[in-house]
Amino acid sequence: MIKSNEFKNSFSHRSKVKYQCPTNLDLFYRGLPLSRYIWVTEFTELQHRLKRKCSELMIQGEIISDSASGQLYLDFLAAHFPGKFYYMTRKDENINDAFSRDPFDLPIGNYSPFIQYDSVF
């Protein structure tokens, strides 16, 4: 769990590293009305994870959830998959509403994770 402003501000740092976030991803997140605290779940392909040390891990996307949502709610605030960006609006009644809209297209690429891992897990 992290403050949403801290997550949004992290893109200025992550754009200066070797592997940058896809173009406009930071603009999408900065424009979203997020809860004060959010859950950030980053992911990568297993093949990619097995070939690198944790300190060299690159992610391919993330799912942002409201930290105040109950365990039984299957919703999210934003979801970035390779090449696509989805988000929920206040009018969406469930996750199907968000996925029924055309996503924003983004370049596909690996980039540095929000959380930097120092140890092997």
State how far the Cα of 51 lies from the Cα of 55, in Å rounded to an integer: 12
Q: Which of 52-61, 62-71, 77-86 has the lowest mean pLDDT?
A: 52-61
In a domain, 71, yes or no: yes
Q: Which residue has the higher pLDDT, 70 or 17?
A: 70
Give the structural domain span for 81.
2-105
Summarize the confidence of residues 33-55 as an average pLDDT.
Answer: 84
One-letter amino acid at 53 equals K
* pTM of the full structure: 0.79
Using 50, 70 and 90 to split pLDDT, how confident is the model at 14? low
Total number of domains in the chain: 1
Q: What is the pLDDT of residue 121?
A: 40
Q: CA quadruple 1, 26, 44, 47: dihedral positive or negative?
A: negative
Q: Which residues contact 57 (CB under 8 A, 6 or more apart)?
A: 44, 48, 49, 113, 117
Q: Answer yes or no: is pLDDT of 86 > 60.
A: yes
Q: Of 82, 65, 66, give the one whose Cα is nearest residue 25.
A: 82
In a domain, 113, yes or no: no
